[in-house]
Amino acid sequence: MQDTDTHNTASNSLEGMAGPIPQAPKGHSGGQQVIVIGAGISGLCSAWFLQQQGYDVLVLEAGACVGGNLQTVQRDGCQFERGPNSFINNRQAMADLIKGAGLEEEIVLANAAAHRRYIGKHGKLIALPSKPLEAITSKILPWAGKLRVAKEPFVGQSAGEETIAQFATRRLGKDVFDWLIDPFISGIYAGDPSKLSIQAAAPKLFALEQQHGSLIKGAWAQIKARRAATGPKLDGAMMSFKSGLHQLMSTLADQLLNPVQVNTQVESVSYSQDHGYMVRSGDTIWQAEKLVMAVPAAQVARLIEDLPTPNEPQLVAAQKQLRSIEYPAVATISLAFEKGQIQHPLDGFGALIPSKENKQTLGVLFPSSIFPDRANANQHIFTVFVGGGRGHQAMQLTPDERLDLVLEELHSYLGIDGQPLWSEESYWPAAIPQYTLGHLQKVAEIDQALAHLPGLYLRSNWRDGVALGDCVEQAQALALQIVDEDVEDK
């Protein structure tokens, strides 16, 4: 990091800069120019929603293709996802995006059986209860654990920040945490619930306690509110697209007036009041009035290096906070088998493996059971997630060793006979950001350090929620926020 005087001088002058004269995005809308760095779900959705509001948007992507971890693969008559597998129709922003992009006819609904979920316990898969009576008779929780849940409405609130493990154990008891909450959180974050903040990682759950004093009371209040609500309602169905989730990404990219610039690693960003934001990649410099950084936290830390600041220590502290956000490695392994090789019917969405099972495997999805036409008629496909917060040992293995590991760990759960017809691993060295204790304070400090820069926005899953729906919702909110700010400035 440079000293303050040099830092500000270099960022507010074009003198001495190599490369061509800065150029604005060459769009057709005639609106204000916006550059978006990153063509994952947050970046592409932000760009698309901004273009819908009349802005002239250019997206720069370091990789060879758009979509981030939303990548769909077709192989040997089968189709599977390298990352997220589906989304739930419970976000108006997603519904708006699908309709606006003309993708309504491309929607594929999950099979009815996909609503069944399994939990691994003592080497067997047990279906999660879907009805109150099933919850009473289910073998997932011992009777002591079920009785402990009845005390939940009488548990007091916590005075300070807690981990998910602390929160869930305090309110629901250790059995519920061990066999239900722990695998559920691992399925979302691939993380350690004893490190993740309940306020940051599960804000809706935390809000039930704050607003109603009880999770049970809060859940019942939500049910009554939904029943009383009038007007059109989203049905909460599980969905994908005919060509997989990457179809959404490729469609959005195709609809942008300015083609996404792939293989474009942004090397530096500077700002001045006269020229706005200047974004450099190689010998090319783009200029825009507004800049959206939709990239991982460590990349944001690098990109803000040369931005002017009235408080150098504050900016350095923000960079340190950004670099401190953990992204554990995760591998997804997709495998195909003849149906006769698998004893379990795979009649559900998939299975989660609690930490108490002492496995490196986090869980397994059943894509060929979730959506139609994902596999050949006589075959099963499943996708295994391994690593994350508790699977560090697995990530030290070779891909062949990881395959052997998951086959061994899943054998008793699924009844696997023999080797897969084929397998394909996707290795994500920095998979899902971890919202550990103090995460919200980190984000607040980062925002404060950059608050003096007009037209700079941060949108990514390290701050906006890690679910696909969260990213779309926050992208739409960003576009509307920018519109409101521009109206106020006029």
Q: In the numeric block, which tokens belong to residue 464?
A: 């906006």
Q: Give the mean pLDDT of 478-486.
A: 95
- CATH number, position 151: 1.10.3110.10
DSSP string, 95-147: HHHHHHTT-GGGEEEPPGGGG-EEEEETTEEEEPP-SHHHHHH-SSS-HHHHH
**Closest C-alpha to 300, from 447, 191, 429, 185:** 447
Instruction: Classify residue 115: in a domain, yes or no.
Output: no
**Same domain for 414 and 334?**
yes
pLDDT reported for residue 20: 38
pLDDT over 70 at 312, yes or no: yes
What's 439's DSSP letter? H
239 within 8 A of 88, measured Cβ to Cβ: yes
pLDDT reported for residue 32: 64
Angle formed by the axes of helices 92-100 and 41-52, nearest 10°: 70
Contacts of 406 by beta carbon, 8 Å cutoff, 6+ apart = 333, 360, 361, 384, 386
pLDDT-derived band at 229 (thresholds 50, 70, 90) equals confident
pLDDT over 70 at 60, yes or no: yes
Angle at 281 between CA 285 and CA 37, to 5 degrees: 95
**Same domain for 362 and 413?**
yes
By the 10 Å C-beta count (0-12 exposed, 13-18 middle, 19+ buried), 246 is classed as buried
**Same domain for 332 and 424?**
yes
Q: Please identify which residue in the block is written with the tokens 């654990």.
A: 145
The range of the structural domain enclosing residue 453 comes to 4-67+243-326+435-489
103 within 8 A of 243, measured Cβ to Cβ: no
pLDDT tens column, 113-171? 898 999 999 999 999 988 777 888 899 999 999 999 999 999 999 889 999 999 999 99
Q: Which of 228, 253, 282 is the last residue of a domain?
A: 228
Q: How far apart are CA 428 and CA 327, in angstroms?
A: 10
User: If residue 164 lies in a helix (H) or strand (E), which one and from where to where?
Assistant: helix 164-172
Contacts of 225 by beta carbon, 8 Å cutoff, 6+ apart = none
pLDDT reported for residue 28: 39
**Same domain for 366 and 424?**
yes
**Same domain for 282 and 308?**
yes
pLDDT tens column, 405-451? 999 999 999 999 999 999 999 999 999 999 999 999 999 999 999 99
Q: How far apart are CA 249 and CA 87, in angstroms?
A: 14
**Same domain for 208 and 262?**
no
Q: How far apart are CA 338 and CA 321, in angstroms?
A: 48
**Same domain for 310 and 384?**
no
Structurally, the chain folds into a number of domains equal to 3
**Same domain for 381 and 439?**
no
Instruction: Classify residue 102: in a domain, yes or no.
Output: no
Instruction: Classify residue 89: in a domain, yes or no.
Output: no
**Same domain for 159 and 42?**
no
pLDDT tens column, 166-218? 999 999 999 999 999 999 999 999 999 999 999 999 999 999 999 999 999 99
pLDDT over 70 at 78, yes or no: yes
205 within 8 A of 218, measured Cβ to Cβ: no
Instruction: Classify residue 124: in a domain, yes or no.
Output: no
User: If residue 246 lies in a helix (H) or strand (E), which one and from where to where?
Assistant: helix 246-255
Q: Please identify which residue in the block is written with the tokens 């944001």.
A: 300
Instruction: Classify residue 276: in a domain, yes or no.
Output: yes
**Same domain for 215 and 333?**
no
pLDDT-derived band at 227 (thresholds 50, 70, 90) equals confident
Q: How far apart are CA 224 and CA 330, in angstroms?
A: 39
96 within 8 A of 476, measured Cβ to Cβ: yes
Q: Which of 408, 428, 448 is the last residue of a domain?
A: 428
**Same domain for 443 and 406?**
no
Q: In angstroms, what CA-CA distances link 393 with 129, 328, 385, 415, 461?
A: 32, 12, 14, 24, 26
- CATH number, position 396: 3.90.660.20
What's 69's DSSP letter? T
**Same domain for 322 and 440?**
yes
pTM of the model: 0.90
pLDDT-derived band at 383 (thresholds 50, 70, 90) equals very high
